[in-house]
Amino acid sequence: MRWLYIHGFNSSSQSGKAQETKRYLAAHGRETDWLCPDLSHYPSQAIEQLTTLMKQCAEPPVLIGSSLGGFYATVLVARFNLKAVLINPAVTPSQLLKPALNTLQKSWYGDSTYFFTQTHLNELLALELSAPLYPDNILMMQEKGDEVLDWTQAAHYYRDCHQLIFNGGDHGFTRYRMVLGLIEQFFNIN
């Protein structure tokens, strides 16, 4: 079973959680099961990249999405009826990222930059769902100490999904290494 890790806003395959996922799978002799593309900063292109990658897999992958990647994973679950674990997911990124409008953005990993425009917000808005589809396929994990996202929004939006909500932590999800075994168990439940 391939694990498709979907990184967050201005992140990449070099993020801490992406690399921790890669190490976890390698430690279990499954290094070739890790997928993590560096996504376009344009949401429509990012979804297209993910869709193309999924179609290249012999069997549908399972998804792990962090922050904006959690939003993208929710969209992909709705489109393809996949299983996903969401880590501190963004619920309405078109609202969340409004303050970034007309600003220069820089990748957390590398030197690439781009200008965040209304087109980005419009593409995010076009992807937003009123509620998650296939809620039994989603496990949402949230840390209440997330300084970027209001954990109560995700708890409400994903209320029909499986949830693990932890006290403390931060937007990086401090317990990630500890929950990888739980993530694998969730993926193995039929």
Q: Give the E-state strand segments of 109-150 in sequence order.
A: 113-116, 138-143
139 has which bridge partners? 85, 162
Instruction: Give CATH superfamily name and number for 3-188.
Output: Alpha/Beta hydrolase fold, catalytic domain (3.40.50.1820)
Span 16-41, average pLDDT: 96
**Which pLDDT belongs to residue 9?**
96
pLDDT digits (tens, 9 = 90+) for 130-170: 999 999 999 999 999 999 999 999 999 999 999 999 999 99
**Which pLDDT belongs to residue 131?**
97
**Which pLDDT belongs to residue 108?**
84
Separation in Å, CA 85 to CA 55, 92, 110, 158, 187: 20, 17, 27, 12, 8
Is a pLDDT exceeding 80 seen at residue 190? no
pLDDT digits (tens, 9 = 90+) for 69-88: 999 999 999 999 999 999 99
Is a pLDDT exceeding 80 seen at residue 113? yes
Q: Which residue has the tokens 């932890």?
A: 166
Which phi and psi angles does 162 have, rounded to 5°?
-70, 140
pLDDT digits (tens, 9 = 90+) for 29-68: 999 999 999 999 999 999 999 999 999 999 999 999 999 9
Cα of first residue to Cα of last residue in the chain, in angstroms, is 13
Nearby residues of 91 by Cβ (< 8 Å), 6 or more positions away: 71, 149, 153, 154, 157
Q: 3-state class of 176 per DSSP?
A: helix
DSSP class of residue 171 equals T
pTM, rounded to two decimals: 0.97
Which among 171, 170, 144 is positioned nearest to 155, based on CA atoms? Answer: 144
* Two tokens, residue 7: 């990184």
> Can you tell me the distance from the alpha carbon of 139 to that of 84, in angstroms, rounded to the nearest whole number?
6
Q: 3-state class of 123 per DSSP?
A: helix
**Which pLDDT belongs to residue 62?**
97
